[in-house]
Structure 1
Amino acid sequence: MRYVILFFFIGFLSFGQTFNDGSNDERYFEDQFYLGLSYNFLLNHPEGSNQRNLSYGLSAGLIKDIPINPRGTYAIGIGAGIALNSYYSNLVANLSGDAIVYSIEDNITRSKLETHLIEFPVELRWRNSTIEEYKFWRIYTGIKAAYVAGARSKFVSDTASDGFYNTDLSKFQYGLTLSFGYNTFNLHAYYALTNLFDGKASVNNEILQYKPLRIGLIFYIL
């Protein structure tokens, strides 16, 4: 909760700015809140594993805009935010003493891994907006780093259900991002360059090497 309070406190202190010193320098700041909704794919499934149900992601944050050319069409964006991502599959996690043991089960209702992240996006931004025009085309590309603040595994079958906090994920993750679109509605993609798990987790003697791919919509709000 303290991360949420800190995040919104920073947001309230931030504001968009413009400046024009009378020359041809018309740079301006496109400081923006963002809201994201995605479908989450898992790449590099172990043998026998597959996705099920609707794996989804939610994110929100603030990006500080730093223009780098006189017209302000190019900029660097540096931000911070929070995210929740759920991954449904037939991979089941069970707690055995202090160890987490994985198995692949088909006779289950659902099995979910949920992660809570603090994110830090850095973007190279192009847009054809002006100081007066707030509806414009944009292409933003960059990298997003994240710290896994918490994770939880849960499975439900016809006869049992169980859930616990998961500790064998990679605590620091990062990947490539791409957003493009017009005005508020934009397509967004994230491709992980790091594995979801820490490199020690395995199923049937196969190391888990899942890499998330998230595709969806991102909404930018000035």
Structure 2
Amino acid sequence: MRLLFSCFFLVSFFTVFSQEETKPKIEPIVKIDSLYREDQFYFSVTYNLFVNIPPALKQDKFSVGLSAGFLRDMPINKKRTLAIATGLGLSYQNFFQNFTISKDGQGNRVYGVNDYNEIVSNRYRQYLVDLPVEFRWRSSTYESYKFWRIYGGLKFSYAFSTKSAVDDGETTYKINNNPDINKLQYGTYLAAGYNTWNVYIYYGLNPLFKSSVKTISGQNVNIQTINAGLIFYIL
């Protein structure tokens, strides 16, 4: 009996030590960034309008505008729901209308408003470098990237290239980098929406043309621009 009991004890002893030791599962520690910023790339598509226009000026077709850039976010409150942002972008704006820029026999630029029956096509395009400076409110948190937002501010733009072309059926007048265009353009804008989709509107505060520009009839040309459409923000 003693021999049997000893064998049983030894077998039980080795069985206990041969069992695999169970280790507790260690969950990874997720570090929450409470100092987040909403640095964002943006892209907008707009419909372009002329306002403060001479009598009889009308727009034709769809005048489209495209812009893209990057904004650097600088929160100014503890919850980081208020911020100031600035950045850099590029814009393309296209206008179809009956405000014509042509030349007389001496090569001087002539501005007028023509009936659509008198022209085959007419368009004005400009390419700009943009510097937006905006104040931001949003309902975001460090746990969610989907939130309501209202962003508004000023945008300063430099028109580094402008092109106009009018075809009256006999002659096509093309003018590049017209010196009568205000190269420095600025205006106020507002963007509001939820998550990626947001409505956007921009109102130009200074005229597109310099104050010296007049139409054939002697009227001052104080045309300003409005861009309205959608803007998309991407983190």
Counterpart residue identity of residue 186, structure 1: N
Greater radius of gyration (CA): 2
Q: Does structure 2 conserve the Cα–Cα contact (< 8 Å) formed by 1:19 and 1:28?
A: no
Q: Does structure 2 conserve the Cα–Cα contact (< 8 Å) formed by 1:31 and 1:65?
A: yes
Structure 2 gaps of 5+ residues are 1-30
Q: Does structure 1 conserve the Cα–Cα contact (< 8 Å) formed by 2:101 and 2:173?
A: no
Please provide the CA RMSD for this pair. Answer: 1.6
Q: Does structure 2 conserve the Cα–Cα contact (< 8 Å) formed by 1:80 and 1:118?
A: yes
Counterpart residue identity of residue 104, structure 1: V
Question: Identity of paired residues, percent?
Answer: 38
Structural mapping, 1:59-208, within 5 Å: 59-96=67-104, 97=106, 99-106=108-115, 107-165=118-176, 166-203=178-215, 204-208=217-221
Alpha-carbon distance between aligned partners in 2 of 1:98 and 1:188, rounded to the nearest angstrom: 40
Give the Å deviation of 1:54.
1.3
Deviations 1:88-132 (A, max 9, x none): 111111134453211222222321111111100001001111112
Deviations 1:42-96 (A, max 9, x none): 1011122111121111101000000111111010010110101111111111134
Residue in 2 that maps onto 1:215: 228
Alpha-carbon distance between aligned partners in 2 of 1:181 and 1:157, rounded to the nearest angstrom: 43
Alpha-carbon distance between aligned partners in 2 of 1:193 and 1:139, rounded to the nearest angstrom: 21
Alpha-carbon distance between aligned partners in 1 of 2:155 and 2:167, rounded to the nearest angstrom: 32
Residues 149-158 or 181-190, more deviating: 149-158
Give the Å deviation of 1:197.
0.5
Flag the structure with higher strand content.
1
Give the Å deviation of 1:156.
2.7
**In the superposition, relative to structure 1, how do residues 141 and 91 fare at CA in structure 2: closer, same or farther (>3 Å)?**
same
Deviations 1:11-70 (A, max 9, x none): xxxxxxx985xxxxx332111111011001110111221111211111010000001111
Give the Å deviation of 1:202.
1.4
What is the aligned residue count?
200
Counterpart residue identity of residue 33, structure 1: F
TM-score, scaled relative to structure 2: 0.81
1:52 equivalent in alignment to 2:65:
no
Structural mapping, 1:31-42, within 5 Å: 31-42=39-50
TM-score, scaled relative to structure 1: 0.85
